[in-house]
Chain A
Amino acid sequence: MKMNKRTFLAGTAAAMALSAGGMARAASHGEKLKVGFVYVGPVGDGGWTYEHDQGRKAVEAEFGDMVETTYVENVPEGPDAERVMTQMALGGAKLIFTTSFGYMDQTINVAKKFPDVKFEHATGYKTAENVGTYSARFYEGRAVQGTIAGHMTQSNKIGYIGSYPIPEVIRGINSAYIHAKKVNPDVEFKIVWAFTWFDPAKEADAAKVLIEQGCDVVLQHTDSTAPQAAAEAAGNVYTFGQASDMAEFAPKPRISSIIDNWAPYYIEQTRAVMEGTWKSEMTWDGIGAGMVGIGEITDAVPAEVKAEALALKDAIASGEYHPFTGPLKKQDGSDWLAEGETADDGTLAGMNFYVEGLEGEIPQ
C-alpha cells in the first residue's frame, strides 16, 4: 500500500515536471499578448458578465493567434479579487480587464505591484499610471427606458430593482425617473435594493414583491434574467433587458433592453497595448459611440410610444439632447440644474443623490 502511494506520487511529480516543461516551451515560442478578464458573475448569466465575455471573444476573433485570453468568473468583490488579479499578472497577462465596480481598490492595489501590466477597470473612478477606466453611459439608455415605462404603466407604479447604491445605479434610477415623469406626471417609483449583482432567487423575490405591491413595469439593475421570468409568470407586467438583450423574453414581458457592447473598446485597447500606444484614460461612451445599444422595442409597445422613444434615442446619440438637462432639483428640493443647463461628467460620475420626486433614502 505504502509502496503504491510512493510510486504514484513519483509518477505525478514526473508528469507535472513534464507538463511544466511543455508550458515553458510554449511560452518562449510566440510573442502572444496575454489578456486577462475578471468577471463578477458566471459567463452564462445572460446579462452583464455574458456581454463582457462576448467582448473577450471578439478580441480573440480579431487578433487570432496574436492574443491569448484568460478569464476567471464568479470572483467576489473583495480580497479574493486581488488574489485573482495578482495570479493573472504573475501568469504573464499584460492587459487585465476588471469588469465590476467593486474591484476598484483591488485593481489600484494590484496595479501598484505590477507597473508594466496595464489594467482597465470598468465603471470605476480611480485611475493610475497603468490603470485606465471605462464605462458606458447607461443612463442614456435608461432615459429611453423611462420614456417607454412611463407610457406603459397603468397603475402608475414602476418598480426598480437596484443592486448596490453606487453612482452608476443611482444615475440610472434618476434618468429613468426623470423621463418617466416627463411623459406621465403621476408616475411613482418603488425601489428595492437587492445588495447583489447576481442572485437569481433574490432577484426573483424582489420582482415578485414589486409586482405584488402593484408595479406593472419592473426595471432591473441586476444581472440575471430572473426578474423577467417573474414578470412573465405574473402576466401583465413589462420589463426591460438589462446589460444584455434578454430577447428570449420578448415580445412580452421584455419590451426593450439596454445592451452593453464592449467588443470595440476591448479590441481597441488590446491593439493599443500591442502597439505600445496605451495610455491611462477615463473612457465614458454612450449610445452615440455604440457602447450602449437599445434592444428592439417590441410590438407590445404602441407605435407612437415606440416612435417617441426612438426619437429620444436619436437625439441623445447625436448629442442634441442630454438626459440630465435642467431645470432639475435634488430630492431635498435644492436646485441642481438651471433651465437648459446640463450635468457635467464630474457630478454624474459621483452622483449620490436622488432627483426631486423620488421617495426613500439612498442607503449610505
Chain B
Amino acid sequence: MDLSAINPVLLIASLMVAATPILLAGIGELVVERAGVLNLGVEGMMITGAICGFAIAVNTGSPFAGFVAAAVGGAALSLLFALLTQVALANQVASGLALTLFGLGLSSLLGQGYVGIKPPATGRLEIPVLSDLPFVGRILFGHDLMVYFGIAVVAVVWAFLKFTRAGLILRAVGESHDAAHALGYKVKRVRVMAIMFGGACAGLGGAYISLVRVPQWTEGMTAGAGWIALALVVFASWKPWRVLLGAYLFGGVTVLQLNLQAAGLAIPVEYLSMSPYLITILVLVIMSADKSRAPASLGRIFHASQ
C-alpha cells in the first residue's frame, strides 16, 4: 500500500469535476419537486442535453454554444413532460419514466453521426497569481467555468427559494396547489416553468459529462447519473446546500475509492465500490433527522376544477 501516491490536491480537484453533473441535475430537480412535480425523467433529459451540447459544440467549435444548446435541449424535452402532466394530466411517475426511455432513444438517434468525434476543449479558468497558489490555487481557481456555475446555481436557487416572493409562490404551489390556486396564483404556469428549469439544468449536467468529464459522445453515457441525482434530492430533504454536500460527497468518495484501489489499500474492493452510495446516503439521512419532509403536493395532479 502506498498512500503517498494519492495527491490530495488532484483528488479534491477531480472530485469537484466528478460531482458537477449530478449537482446540476440535482439542483434542477429540486426546484421541480419544490413546485410539487415529480419528474423521473432526469436521466433522459441529461442524455439529451449531453448529445445536444456535444453536437452543437462540435459543429460550432464553441463549448459555450454547446452548453447553451444542452440547456435548451433539456428544457425542450422537459416541455414534453410538462405537456403530459400539466395539460393532459397524466400520471407523473409513468410520464417521467417514459421521458427517460424516450430521451435515451432520441439521444442515440441524434448521436449516430457523432461517435468517435472529439469535442472542442472547454477552457479552464486561469487567473494569474491565484491559479498558481500552492494547494488552493489548483483546487479553487483551476477549473472550467461550469464547476463554478454549478455552485452559483445552488446559491441562486437557495436565495430564490428563501428570500424572494417568486420563491415563496413556488413553494406554496408545491405545498398546497389548491390554496395557491385559490389565492390566484397560476399553478400550472409556475410548474411548467419549474419543469423547464429542471430540464435545462439536467441538460447542462449531461453536457458536462459529454464535453468535459469524458469528453466524447457514447450512447447511454450518463449511465445512471440521473437516477443518482434524483436520489440525492430526496436524501438532501429538498434543501439546496445539502444537494451540494451530497453531490460532493458522492463525487468525492467515488474518486477516493478509485484512488485507494490504485494505491493498493487492503480493503476489499467490493466495500470500496459501494462506499460512495453508502456514505452519501448515510450522511444525508442522519442530517435529515430534523423535521424536513417532502413538499405536500409532490406528485399530485392539479386540476382547477377539483
Interface residues of A (CB under 8 A from B): 41-46, 74, 159, 165, 190-193, 195-196, 198-202, 204-206, 208-210, 212-215, 224-226, 229-230, 232-233, 248, 359-361, 363-364
Contact = CB atoms under 8 A, between A and B. Distances in A.
Interface in B214-272: 214-216, 218-225, 254-255, 258-259, 261-264, 266, 268-270
A225 B218 contact: yes
Contacts of B261: 191-193
Interface stretch (B4-12, B125-133, B178-186, B296-304): B4-12
Nearest to B256: A209
In this complex, the member of A202, A205, A206, A214 whose beta carbon has the largest number of chain B beta carbons within 10 angstroms is A205
A248 B114 CA distance: 12
A201 B209 contact: yes
A199 B269 contact: no
Given A209-B255, A212-B14, 19 more contacts: A41-B220, A42-B218, A44-B218, A44-B219, A74-B220, A165-B269, A200-B221, A201-B21, A202-B223, A205-B18, A209-B14, A209-B262, A212-B7, A212-B10, A226-B216, A229-B215, A233-B215, A248-B117, A360-B264
B218 A205 contact: no
A224 to B, nearest CB: 5
B218 A45 contact: yes
27 contacts: A41-B220, A43-B219, A45-B219, A46-B218, A74-B220, A192-B261, A192-B262, A193-B261, A195-B269, A200-B218, A201-B18, A201-B225, A202-B254, A204-B213, A205-B255, A205-B258, A209-B262, A212-B7, A212-B10, A213-B6, A225-B116, A226-B216, A226-B218, A226-B221, A359-B264, A360-B264, A363-B269
B115 interface: yes
Interface residues of B, number: 41
Contact of A206 (B21, B220, B258): B258
A49 to B, nearest CB: 9
A213 B21 CA distance: 24
Contacts of A226: 214, 216, 218, 221
Interface of B: 5-7, 10-11, 14, 18, 21, 108, 111-112, 115-118, 209, 213-216, 218-225, 254-255, 258-259, 261-264, 266, 268-270, 273
Nearest to A362: B269
B223 A198 contact: yes
A204 B259 contact: no
Nearest to B220: A42
A195 B269 CA distance: 9
Contacts of B273: 193, 195
Contacts of B21: 201
A173 B44 CA distance: 36
Tell which of B7, B218, B261, B269 has the most Cβ of chain A within 10 Å.
B218
A193 to B, nearest CB: 5
**Among B10, B111, B209, B216, which residue has the most Cβ atoms of chain A within 10 A?**
B216
Nearest to A45: B218
A44 B225 CA distance: 19
Contacts of B14: 205, 208-209, 212
A210 B214 contact: no
Nearest to B11: A212
A47 to B, nearest CB: 9
A44 B216 CA distance: 12
Given A46-B115, A201-B223, A363-B268, A209 B259 contact: yes
A41 to B, nearest CB: 7
Nearest to B269: A363
Nearest to B5: A213
Nearest to A225: B216
A199 B258 CA distance: 14
Nearest to B254: A205
Contacts of A364: 268
Contacts of A204: 213-214
B117 to A, nearest CB: 8
Given A200-B221, A201-B225, A190 B262 contact: yes
